[in-house]
Structure 1
């Protein structure tokens, strides 16, 4: 499920001090660093910020089982995207015993969530920067992208999670509060788009995954494990939903800046329902 930023009136801690996790020998030298556990939507992997005096921060994702395979997928996408757009520099990857460790260097700048929270007077500029980065991503050569995120495949994954009881109904958006997982599945059948517009998508284009510098220039896209060719509304829906936390001005600025004068509300609702399944 999309990493959702906390509601503005209350901003709980987004990370906490932690002990280092079990590390492979190749990463043992990091054990003496300062470790902080990320608390925002880890999606199956444990995420840590690793701080060392006089050196750039690092981020370590650690997972096992199916979540470890997801880190393998993220590694491949990270390496592909790095040829086209700024993203987190890869520092180490390891996979054995059904466990995986993905180590990247922190991207400079602040997340789009932090910018919107700390500089509300720059809201329209921030939205413009987010749209500019999204247009760059969507303009990448889809025919050259080796990763597909077909609608059929995503629906199959959603249904498998439904059958396994893995859909977290307590984390649904407010507009779907009180819905069951089956309610969301029925909505997906009702809203299924008749046509899609395939582009290279991030897959989770939320405010925590986009970093900007002081000039609001893109410094990096992170958490790219769902990157692939899909309908552009996959990214637009998630970004539109996230911007709603910062008021109607931010949300209403999105589609005109992107070049869509009248957004397709049905496709928006479909992809937001689909996101609830993950």
Structure 2
């Protein structure tokens, strides 16, 4: 955790009556602070974490040019020991805070939001998060024994991650061909905590946590959305309604369940 002296050095001064309130400290050593008026957040990283924070800053800055409800970058401070990223707050509550009924009501607007992101011109996006990049990241995580078994699908938790990766590598050429024909600007971590929703209207207001934003197969996002939201549904009827609604809103007539399965298996191997 960054020292109090280091934090004081990097956090900008606020008007009288406002203060920075600690929100969380991650395992990486990052610290997150919220302005007491709720208008902004500050994230502080030290040492090597500052490089990762720079990687988070650039997508935020790029995406803020589009009207998608993403955070605005307010300040970027870097010193010898680390860095501080200050962004505007996106209004609303995380979609993960909603119950199944509420989430189902919000779901079409969440789908429309990810669809608007996917509709941006992929050739204009300076960030790449394609399959070759993510398989290489998975290979590194697996080689270091850093896969978190809790991230794996229940039916895969007893399988050696090296075997899971080997099975994914066997599909590389097929999935690369699909990606080449359907490459879009992806969020990269399209889980429910990263979609903000107005609790009164139950409409999506925007997206946060953009550190993995980049061009990739659109199914990278779709797989995570469906799997993560699945924890909120009260039964198969809600799950099926959400599945059908997502693909209807996005105008995709034939959902490819094999691609969904592939990217849902890959994602847990890329964290660590």
Q: Give the TM-score band, short-chain normalised.
A: 0.7 to 0.9
Alignment counterpart, residue 83 of structure 1, candidates 57, 61, 65: 65
- Change in Cα spacing, 1:109 to 1:99, as seen in structure 2 (3 Å) is same
Counterparts of 2:5 and 2:105 in 1: how far apart (Å)? Answer: 39
Partner of 2:146: 166
Aligned residues: 252
For residues 65-114 of structure 1, the C-alpha deviation after alignment (integer angstroms, 9 at most, x for no partner) is 44321211111110110011221222222223352221223211111112
- Change in Cα spacing, 1:65 to 1:34, as seen in structure 2 (3 Å) is closer
| 1:196-211 equivalent positions in 2, closer than 5 A | 196=179, 197-211=182-196
- Change in Cα spacing, 1:60 to 1:33, as seen in structure 2 (3 Å) is closer
Q: Calculate the TM-score normalised by the size of structure 2.
A: 0.82
Q: Secondary structure at the match of 2:91?
A: coil
Q: Secondary structure at the match of 2:86?
A: strand
Counterparts of 2:217 and 2:12 in 1: how far apart (Å)? Answer: 42
Alignment counterpart, residue 244 of structure 1, candidates 230, 237, 262: 230
Alignment counterpart, residue 88 of structure 2, candidates 86, 98, 105: 105
Tell whether the 8 Å contact from 2:76 to 2:85 is kept in structure 1 after alignment.
Answer: yes
CA RMSD of aligned residues (A): 2.5
Task: Give the deviation of 1:28 after TM superposition.
Answer: 6.1
- Change in Cα spacing, 1:270 to 1:143, as seen in structure 2 (3 Å) is same
Unaligned runs of at least 5 residues, structure 2: none
1:122 and 2:102 correspond:
yes
Q: Secondary structure at the match of 2:169?
A: helix
Task: Give the deviation of 1:218 after TM superposition.
Answer: 3.2
Partner of 1:255: 247
- The more displaced of 55-64 and 104-113 is 55-64
Task: Give the deviation of 1:207 after TM superposition.
Answer: 0.4
For residues 230-256 of structure 1, the C-alpha deviation after alignment (integer angstroms, 9 at most, x for no partner) is 100010011011121122324433333
Q: Calculate the TM-score normalised by the size of structure 1.
A: 0.81
Tell whether the 8 Å contact from 1:47 to 1:59 is kept in structure 2 after alignment.
Answer: no
Tell whether the 8 Å contact from 1:203 to 1:234 is kept in structure 2 after alignment.
Answer: yes
Counterparts of 1:156 and 1:204 in 2: how far apart (Å)? Answer: 17
Counterparts of 1:21 and 1:108 in 2: how far apart (Å)? Answer: 31
Partner of 1:6: none
| 1:1-278 equivalent positions in 2, closer than 5 A | 22-27=6-11, 29=13, 33-37=20-24, 42=26, 44=28, 46-52=30-36, 55-84=37-66, 85-97=68-80, 99-115=82-98, 117=99, 120-192=100-172, 193=175, 194-196=177-179, 197-213=182-198, 214-247=200-233, 248=236, 249-250=238-239, 251-253=242-244, 254-277=246-269, 278=271
Unaligned runs of at least 5 residues, structure 1: 1-18
- Change in Cα spacing, 1:149 to 1:33, as seen in structure 2 (3 Å) is closer
Counterparts of 2:243 and 2:215 in 1: how far apart (Å)? Answer: 26
- Change in Cα spacing, 1:178 to 1:76, as seen in structure 2 (3 Å) is same
